[in-house]
Structure 1
Amino acid sequence: MNTGRRSARAALHLVGAALVTFWLFAGARPADPWTWIGVLAVLAWLGGALLRGAHRASAALAAVALAAASVAVIPTGGVTFTPVVVALLLLWADDTLPAWAAITASVAAPPLMAIGAIGQVPGIPTLLAFGGGIVIASLAGASRRQTRRFLRQEAILRQQQQEAAEQAARAALARDLHDVLAHTLGGLVIQLDATEALIERGDTDAALTRSRSARRLAGEGLDEARRAVAALRSGAGRDERVRPGEVMDAVGELLRTHRSLGGSATFETDGTPWETSDAQAAAVVRAAQEALSNARRHAPGHPVDVSILWSTDRVLLTVANDVADAGGTPSGGFGLRGMHERVAALPHGGRVDISQDGSRFQVRLEVRR
């Protein structure tokens, strides 16, 4: 479509230049020097119009067209006033050219016309018509300049928005993969340690059971990572709705995995689950996953208390556990940062509170409906 517009614009310039050239030679003798000055203006006009991509060359040729056409306007009976108008439009519309340069061109055109009119006495109406034409051409060019500048800024904004969206997508994938890997690999370490201990004791049946559990955990983690990547690549998932109860089932599955890895946990619920968006569900489930992973890593052997409270306008997840000492408290890291980022990205927002009261570490995540 842009190519078609450029072709149509070039054809219009060629037709206009041909008509001006015809009237130059039709209204004066070929030997008249003003005719050839007009031809120079026409050629510079065409060069400036057709070299729009080369801004410096286009501006230089437009300036030549303006100077030559302005000087020849009166001697040619106004035939070269068309190149004057076109040159002004080209100079004003070029938003890469300083505004003062376009203003200088508009101001310089009348004195150049006066130079060409030496020895002649054009009528007042003629002078007013030419002056008005210069003003109108300058205003039209200035309007075009503003439009192009707006379109350029709009294109920059679109590019920035696209880059921001790509950055957000990368951050979302990083959060999901971090949570999946922290949950899966942390669980695998526990299972493999237990398997090694069982083998050393000679309990091969129990070791085999642990080994199969580790393999199942690895397979689940791989499937979950693939789903996260597939959802990101397809752009799907963030606007989908999650049925009531699916969040509870997902958290329940995380607790079963936690118990299978040797941990102990309680799970309390209150209220009636309501339909959430995929992003809201992910915020709750991933927060529970990260909190359980942190509990296994920083407070092994300590029970974990998980609760989910559903109210009419929000859902509140609380995960709390005792820690052996303050040094074992997870005070940062990508997982906890990911909780804040997920909640901050939700349309209706929410809140994340991570605190420790004595030996009691607690994660509270609130998602607003």
Structure 2
Amino acid sequence: MQILDPASSLSRLLRLVGLIAVVSSSASAELWHRPWVGALVVLSWLGWAGWLASPLQSALERISLSAMAIGGGLTVTQTAGSAISALAAVFIAISLVTEPLWFGPLLALGTTVLMGVSILLGGTGRALLGLMVGAVVIGLAGWSRRQGRAVAERNRLLVEQNRIIRAERDRAAALAERGRIARDIHDVLAHTLGGLVLQLDAADALLEAGEVDRAAERVKASHELAVSGLADARRVVGALRSERFDTAAELRRVIDEHRSAGGVLAERVDIAVNPANEQVAVALTRSVQEALTNARKHAPGQPVTLSLRDSAGQVEALISNPVAVHRLSLGGTGSGAGLLGMRERIEAAGGTLAARKEGDRWTVRILLPQK
């Protein structure tokens, strides 16, 4: 079922009322004694009726307004209805933003000329000035109306553009959040599962050697690592989002987990690491965690050094380990997106990351703003 626009319905009703008023004020028996006058009056009626029925931005609308101007302008001295039709045509043609800018002034000029001809032929020259002034006033009113409609349309377009911009901004924020969550999930899985593989491999080797107690310790450490990974996953999905991110405590936990997974780590912290920006704090912690996981994966048993210091107002984290001589089976696991995810996370937080081989060591250098 088609729903009618209330504003459009009211406009049609007002046009119908205007047509009735023009016809009733022009329907005089004296008009029909001069056929040409009657024909022009009827032309103005037909123009009004066509305007009543015409859709916007159509040829019928322009033809109808032209008929109102011609029929009403040439008989303006004969009936009041003709004057109404002529002046209404001027006002409507100028005020319509759906019509070209040239159409309104051209029709207004033509209507004014036709009214002048009608007045001069009718022998009532004193009324010429009054009608000319009236046409100018009506034209200015129509122009004001057109400008008001144009401003309203621009405002509507601005509101629509703002709505689209807000929707795109929300979509971009949602995509950025999804990317952040994906990076966090990757870090958690890489850290936890990589550590579990190392611990369980060690436990299996100890069991084969008959060292049951030490193997049990490795299994217990694996359980603690799994519990910690589960807690990290809950943080990622927002279960702990309302809590303040404690950078120092998180870094200490990451370091302890690395050591409990069998990693050897020498740490040096020259500053109190506690960035005010949570995004910076999370990026630093997760990147250090990923770097330590990669060190255990690609160079297990090799000593890793971690240093944190102030570098020109920035937090500098340096993680370094010797490069493994032989390629290990665990080093071939994973999607290879860890380093890419680290770089994306660091750059999103306003920092830089450089990872490369320096001599016989693999070095990851991270720079992040303190605030």
Q: TM-score, normalising length from structure 2?
A: 0.74
Distance (whole Å) between structure 1 residues aligned to residue 63 and residue 155 of structure 2: 26
What is the CA–CA distance in structure 1 between the aligned matches of 2:109 and 2:93, rounded to whole Å?
Answer: 16
Change (3 A) 1:23 1:241: farther
Aligned to 2:265: 265
Residues 274 and 198 of structure 1: CA distance in aligned 2, closer, same or farther (over 3 Å): closer
Instruction: State the alpha-carbon separation in 2 of the partners of residues 241 and 227 from structure 1.
Output: 11
**Does structure 1 conserve the Cα–Cα contact (< 8 Å) formed by 2:95 and 2:144?**
no
SS at match of 2:272: coil
1:315 offset after TM fit, Å? 2.0
**Residue 154 of structure 1 corresponds to which residue in structure 2?**
162
AA at the equivalent of 1:299 = A
SS in 1 for 2:168: helix
CA drift at 1:138 = 4.3
Work out the percentage of aligned pairs sharing the same amino acid: 29
The answer to whether structure 1 residue 78 and structure 2 residue 84 are counterparts is yes
* Aligned-partner residue type, residue 25 of structure 2: G
Structure 2 counterpart SS, 1:321: strand
Measure, in 1, the Cα distance between the counterparts of 2:173 and 2:274.
29
Distance 1:120 1:178 in 2: 87
Range 107-116 or range 183-192, more displaced:
107-116
Could you tell me which amino acid in structure 1 is paired with residue 256 of structure 2?
Answer: R
Match of 2:348 in 1: 345
Partner of 1:184: 192
Tell me which moved more, 171-180 or 127-136. Answer: 127-136
- Structure-2 change in CA distance of 1:135 and 1:89 (3 Å): closer
CA distance, structure 1, for counterparts of residue 301 and residue 346 of structure 2: 30
Partner of 2:295: 295
Task: Please state if 1:67 is matched with 2:63.
Answer: yes
What amino acid sits opposite 2:185 in the alignment? L
1:17 corresponds to 2:23? no
Quick one: distance in 2 between partners of 1:256 and 1:136? 76
Q: Distance in 2 between matches of 1:29 and 1:251?
A: 95
Measured at CA, do residues 252 and 215 of structure 1 come closer, stay the same or move farther in structure 2, by a change above 3 Å? Answer: same
**Is 1:226 aligned to residue 234 of structure 2?**
yes
Cα shift at 1:294:
0.8
**Closer, same or farther in 2 for the Cα pair 1:271/1:147, shift >3 Å?**
same
The amino acid that maps onto 1:161 is R
Q: State the shift of 1:108 in Å.
A: 5.9
1:315 and 2:315 correspond: yes
User: 201, 215, 220: which is aligned to 2:209?
Assistant: 201
Aligned 8 A contact 2:94 2:139 in 1: no
Is the contact between residue 266 and residue 306 of structure 1 (CA under 8 Å) also seen in structure 2?
yes
Rounded Cα–Cα distance in structure 1 between residues aligned with 2:195 and 2:14: 78
Matched, 1:362 2:360: no
Say what the alpha-carbon RMSD is for the aligned residues: 3.7
More displaced stretch, 107-116 vs 137-146: 107-116
1:163-200 C-alpha deviation (Å, 9 max, x unpaired): 22122112111111111111111112112222332333
* Counterpart for residue 124 of structure 2: none
Q: Are the equivalent residues in 2 in contact too, given 1:241–1:275 (CA < 8 A)?
A: no
CA distance 1:281–1:13, change in 2 (3 Å): same
TM superposition shift of 1:309: 1.9
Task: Choose which of 175, 178, 189 in structure 1 pairs with 2:183.
Answer: 175
Query: What's the CA shift for 1:327?
Result: 7.5
CA–CA separation in structure 2 for the residues paired with 1:23 and 1:283 = 76
User: Aligned runs of 1:220-259 on 2, under 5 Å?
Assistant: 220-230=228-238, 242=245, 246-259=246-259
1:264 Cα deviation from its structure 2 partner:
0.5
Which runs of 5 or more structure 2 residues have no equivalent in the other structure?
Answer: 29-37, 73-81, 120-127
What TM-score comes out, normalization by structure 1 length? 0.74
Map of 1:40 onto structure 2:
50
Q: Deviations over 1:26-52 (max 9, x none)?
A: 4222996232431331233xxx4xxxx
Question: Which is greater in Rg?
Answer: 2
CA contact (8 A) 2:351 2:368 kept: yes
Q: In terms of mean alpha carbon deviation, does 221-230 or 16-25 score higher? A: 16-25
Shift of 1:219: 2.8
Provide the rounded CA distance (Å) in 2 between the counterparts of 1:325 and 1:15. 90
Structure 1 Cα separation of the partners of residues 277 and 270 of structure 2:
20
In 2, the alpha carbon distance for the partners of 1:212 and 1:137 equals 82
| Deviation, structure 1 residue 224 | 1.4
1:114-147 CA-partner distances (Å, limit 9, x unpaired):
8986973474334434544554444444434433
Q: Do 1:89 and 1:140's aligned partners in 2 also have CA atoms closer than 8 Å? A: no
How far did residue 85 of structure 1 move? 4.8
SS in 2 for 1:27: helix
Letter of the aligned partner of 2:118 in structure 1?
Answer: Q
More divergent stretch after superposition (31-40 vs 286-295): 31-40
Gaps of 5+ in 1: 49-57, 93-100
Query: Could you tell me which amino acid in structure 1 is paired with residue 26 of structure 2?
Result: A
Return the alpha-carbon distance in structure 2 between the equivalents of residues 314 and 226 of structure 1: 30
Matched position secondary structure for 1:230: coil
Pick closer, same or farther for the CA change 1:206–1:85 going to 2, 3 Å. Answer: farther
Contact 1:72/1:113 (<8 A) preserved: no
Q: Relative to structure 1, is the Cα distance of residues 108 and 258 closer, same or farther in structure 2, using a 3 angstrom cutoff?
A: same
